Structure 1
Amino acid sequence: MDQDRYANIDRVGSRPSVLETNKVLRNTYMLLAMTLAFSAVCAGAAMAMGLSQGAAMVMSLTALVMIFFLNKVANSSKGILFVFAFTGLLGGSLGPMLNYYLAFEGGASLVMQALGTTALVFFGLSAYVLTTKKDFSFMGGFLMVGLIVAIVASIANIFMGIPVLSLAISAAIVFIMSGLILFDTSRIVNGGETNYIRATVSMYLNIYNLFTSILHLLGAFGGDD
């Protein structure tokens, strides 16, 4: 999860034409689908190689650093390479986590439930915005505050190691990411985001954090540990 990716969450962009908005929306979902598939391949490769937690953390931190260069490449052809490198690193970093949950009794079912729930939430919320064209920009401030609180609590819990707090954070992230799916989709539909590369990265992060949090919750309540 990345704090800086949401730093400009309240920024309001200009209103492009319907044709331009539809083009951004179409390109965003096309690139998102490709990067999710690529991320899944990288996660599978990491699982097969038995990637360690340490290596996964390095990959996550590398991807985090890449966020700072997003705006510099978002309007160039390098942006496409950036997105695939970024999502590939985050996908690969999921390897140890997926291997951990797959080791549970019924682990494969657990992971599939998390994937299915994530897909259901994403498509359901996106379809709602696309159908109603409702503007969710008013949620920006609340989501930003919630995200900061979740990040601070996550860092604190690294040292405290309180299981109940960890579950509460995961539950909070599920709600925050759901809100961000509404917010980000609304920005595209209503012309607040006109760059499909930035939009793809935003959507990918929403889905990534939503999936990992749902998997954590399902693992806690349905796992064998």
Structure 2
Amino acid sequence: MADVNTIRSAAGSRAAAIDEGLRTHMNKVYGTMSIGMLITFAAAWAISGLAVTTDPAAAVAQIGADKYLTSFGSALYMSPLKWVVMFAPLAFVFGLGAAMNRISAATAQTLFYAFAAVMGISISSIFLVFTGYSIIQIFLITSIAFAGLSLWGYTTKKDISGWGSFLIMGVIGLIVASVVNIFLGSPALVFAISAIGVLIFAGLTAYDTQNIKNTYLAHAQHGDQEWLAKSGIMGALSLYLNFINMFMMLLQLFGNRE
């Protein structure tokens, strides 16, 4: 009996340690993601401040009532440089994913924060197009929706791993449609991409949260802290991308333009 009790006690201690480790891991994931979000919006706000002026004497082009582009803004948004700015985050994501196995967790985290800054530059034009109140309002709506979806993905007993292939195919379709619409400029296609995109990234938020949890539980007993740390950074990246994309698409659907 004593041996049985000892075994049960050891199993209970191990389970408690894994649960505590999971909470710490998820807190690290959400913390890393949150810092990335702060960097992104700080970079976007700072860049938009450099790109826009209310002084006609320093202006290159007028973009609204008492609002003008500076020479920096003109180069960023109206020259061929805009294509580099537009596609840099996508290239950064693929590069980070390819290099993940060869770099340390500390380097991966630094690269994630660098990526967040690049993303901020890429989406900085929202401050030129949409009102500040609208951006804040949509950000809060996205935050509430994201929190609810992520919480459901974490707590649900339903296995939603089967959603992965379908959702990834949907993301690929969105990317292709978005690239095509750069040349078509169809408002109807923009609306369709945004509406479908919100649903896809909502599903990915729940799916990725459950996947981060299950990945930790599957590997925690091996004790490879470096691998788990890098896994957490990739999890933070996945959730970050879901949030940013959901936010941008909701902004396209419901944002008030300048």
TM-score bin, normalised by smaller chain: 0.7 to 0.9
Bigger Rg over Cα: 2
Q: For 2:47 and 2:209, how far apart are their aligned partners in 1?
A: 31
Gaps of 5+ in 2: 1-16, 52-72, 219-227
* Backbone CA RMSD of aligned residues: 2.3
Gaps of 5+ in 1: 1-15, 102-106
Render the CA deviation track for 1:85-105: whole Å, top value 9, x for unaligned.
00011012221222211xxxx
CA-CA distance at 1:26 after TM superposition: 1.4
- Tell me the residue number matched to 1:79: 108
Q: For 1:88 and 1:56, how far apart are their aligned partners in 2?
A: 16
- Tell me the residue number matched to 1:218: 254
8 Å CA contact 1:38–1:88 kept in 2: the answer is: yes
Which residue type is aligned with residue 121 of structure 1? Answer: A
Report the more deviating stretch, 116-125 or 59-68: 59-68
Report SS of the residue matched to 1:135.
coil
8 Å CA contact 2:201–2:245 kept in 1: the answer is: yes
Q: For 1:139 and 1:200, how far apart are their aligned partners in 2?
A: 19
Report the more deviating stretch, 85-94 or 128-137: 128-137
Q: For 1:45 and 1:88, how far apart are their aligned partners in 2?
A: 11
- Tell me the residue number matched to 2:187: 163
Q: For 2:108 and 2:94, how far apart are their aligned partners in 1?
A: 13
Q: For 2:132 and 2:106, how far apart are their aligned partners in 1?
A: 38
Q: For 2:82 and 2:248, how far apart are their aligned partners in 1?
A: 14
- Tell me the residue number matched to 1:94: 123
CA-CA distance at 1:56 after TM superposition: 5.2
- Tell me the residue number matched to 1:132: 156
- Tell me the residue number matched to 1:43: 44
Determine which structure has greater relative contact order: mean sequence separation of CA pairs < 8 Å that are 6+ residues apart, divided by chain length.
1
Q: For 2:139 and 2:128, how far apart are their aligned partners in 1?
A: 15
CA-CA distance at 1:17 after TM superposition: 4.1
1:32 matched to 2:56:
no
CA-CA distance at 1:133 after TM superposition: 4.8
1:205 matched to 2:206:
no
- TM-score, normalised on structure 1? 0.81
- In structure 2, the CA distance between the partners of 1:59 and 1:159, relative to structure 1 (3 Å rule), is closer
- TM-score, normalised on structure 2? 0.71
- In structure 2, the CA distance between the partners of 1:68 and 1:178, relative to structure 1 (3 Å rule), is same
Which residue type is aligned with residue 27 of structure 2? Answer: R
- Tell me the residue number matched to 1:189: 213
Render the CA deviation track for 1:127-160: whole Å, top value 9, x for unaligned.
2223335432111111022112222221222222
Report SS of the residue matched to 1:186.
helix
- Tell me the residue number matched to 1:3: none
Count of paired positions = 202
Report SS of the residue matched to 2:159.
coil
- In structure 2, the CA distance between the partners of 1:197 and 1:181, relative to structure 1 (3 Å rule), is same
- Tell me the residue number matched to 2:90: 64
Report the more deviating stretch, 36-45 or 125-134: 125-134
